[in-house]
Structure 1
Amino acid sequence: MAAAPPPRMLLVVALAVACCLVQLAAGDTNGVFEPCSDARIQRGDGFTFGVVFAGYSSFFSGQTQLSPCDRRLNLASSAQLAVFRPKVDEISLLTVNTTTGFNPASVGGYMVAFAGRKYAARSPPIFVSNSSFTVSSFTLVLEFNKGRLQNLHWKKDGCDACSGKSNFVCLGKQTCAIRTQSCKNQGPVDCSIGIQLAFSGTDKHESVLNSWYEVSNLRQYSLYGLYSNLKDTLSGQFNKFF
């Protein structure tokens, strides 16, 4: 599979919020920093993956969804790319700032997370934004088998967190969305994208990756609210500088 030129790069602030002690970069044994390359990881490594924003059909050739690294998709001319490198098996919050000009709806309104070339893995396209509604909170699980990325899963958060809030709607009885006209550039709300990231499966030493299990347990204790408040705080701090 030929690797395509990368889509245009977003100015991204990636915020990794560790639930345990932060390990030094010297402990990172993964030398792969490009999302269209293959890596085999262990716990505590950094792991590079990408998120591409484009239209739903842009991720398909005929009826087959391809990796964004596949040249046949021709994403370089129109899509936007964010690249992250979280620590393996730490719960992280990754953010894409949409208050400084980037509008996901303008490039098609969907996103796909991906990594790898020979072992190309990609998530299904997930809706982010159109002229009516915008989803700003997501949960992504990276699933590994013996250190190789196998799958990327978007997990639905449900609508309990936005129940009764007038600016929000529940899409498909599974996802909280805000009315796009309320988002900054049109309204008062910061609709920057927040991706809560966790890991599952096993690393190259067959050690079990537990962070998704931890997230699934913590969700019953208003983890959504914790990360939402944290995202608002951090976004406010960065807005002072940019």
Structure 2
Amino acid sequence: MLALALSIFLLLGAKGSKGADDNEIYDPCVTVGQLKMKDAISIGVGMVNGISYWYKNSDANLNLLSPCSAQLAAQLPQAARVSVFRPVIEQIGQFEIENSSYVGLRHNFTGDASLIVFSGSNPTVLSTPRYFLYSDGRVPELTLNIHFEAGKLAYFIWKEDDCATCYAKNQLCRAGSCVTRETDCQNSDTTNSTITDYNCRLAVCIPPPLSSILFVSLIPSNHLSPVFLLLS
């Protein structure tokens, strides 16, 4: 069971090859065994102000703490958020946060905010933290590579962006990611014609062989059962 006592996101959509998924483990903090191509896997995304909460202290060279651990849960602030998505291994796509939920995140986090991707336990497979919000802008897209070895989840790794496309869109470059200026997102009368709705909310792209399209809505945590509730 996930140790984070936080508000939780409910997953909507993700219609797939119904009946072909034999993975009945929905909790992202439970390790699953060998998977086949038509199976789905539950993957958690934790979000928090700053980045130091993911480490034992502010030293980013120390080991990452698992969002499934009581040690990390005890030190996270009330503003922290967690969502779960369930990609199907053989499909291609992304998950994104819909507008209403993203507005809530923008108001929930002050200054810079980071996310971490996780799944399993003993040990939990973790990505490195990545910033997705800055005080003056938003990261519209991150690319996550998910690797399996002999059908078992092995590791997550972010695809590094060289910011080659940022400047043509009048975007900032921060930590290797393009960042849409907050003023462009808040001003509907912006003269920057390259800015669209999709430049102002987060999408995490998952290259083959594993992905799914999921739209995420924020709901009160007391509307969920003790395990993560996923609609199909």
> Greater helix percent: which structure?
1
TM-score > 0.5 by shorter chain? yes
Quick one: distance in 1 between partners of 2:6 and 2:145?
23
Consecutive aligned runs of 4 or more in structure 1 exceeding 6 Å deviation: none
Taking a change above 3 Å as real, the CA distance of residues 15 and 76 of structure 1, as seen in their structure-2 partners, is farther
2:56 maps to what in 1?
A: 61
2:229 maps to what in 1?
A: none
Taking a change above 3 Å as real, the CA distance of residues 131 and 53 of structure 1, as seen in their structure-2 partners, is same
Please, which of 137, 142, 151 is the counterpart of residue 138 of structure 1?
A: 142
TM-score (norm 1): 0.70
2:174 maps to what in 1?
A: 171
Which structure exhibits the higher relative contact order, with contacts defined as CA atoms closer than 8 Å and separated by 6 or more residues?
2
1:187 maps to what in 2?
A: 187
Aligned-partner residue type, residue 165 of structure 1: K
Instruction: Find the residue that maps to 1:93 and give its secondary structure.
Output: strand
Q: Which runs of 5 or more residues in structure 2 are unaligned?
A: 189-195, 217-232
Quick one: distance in 2 between partners of 1:67 and 1:134?
25
* Counterpart mapping for 1:90-239 below 5 A: 90-100=91-101, 101-104=103-106, 106=109, 109-166=113-170, 168-172=171-175, 174-183=176-185, 186-188=186-188, 189-190=196-197, 191-198=200-207, 211=209
> Structure 1, residues 53-77: CA drift from partner, whole Å, max 9, x if none?
1130111113221111111012373
Say what the alpha-carbon RMSD is for the aligned residues: 2.9
2:38 counterpart of 1:44: yes
Q: CA deviation at 1:164?
A: 2.1
Quick one: distance in 2 between partners of 1:180 and 1:15?
30
Quick one: distance in 1 between partners of 2:37 and 2:47?
28
2:223 maps to what in 1?
A: none
For structure 1, which segment, 141-150 or 119-128, has the greater mean C-alpha deviation from structure 2 after superposition? 141-150
Quick one: distance in 2 between partners of 1:133 and 1:99?
17
Aligned-partner residue type, residue 183 of structure 2: Q
Q: CA deviation at 1:192?
A: 1.6
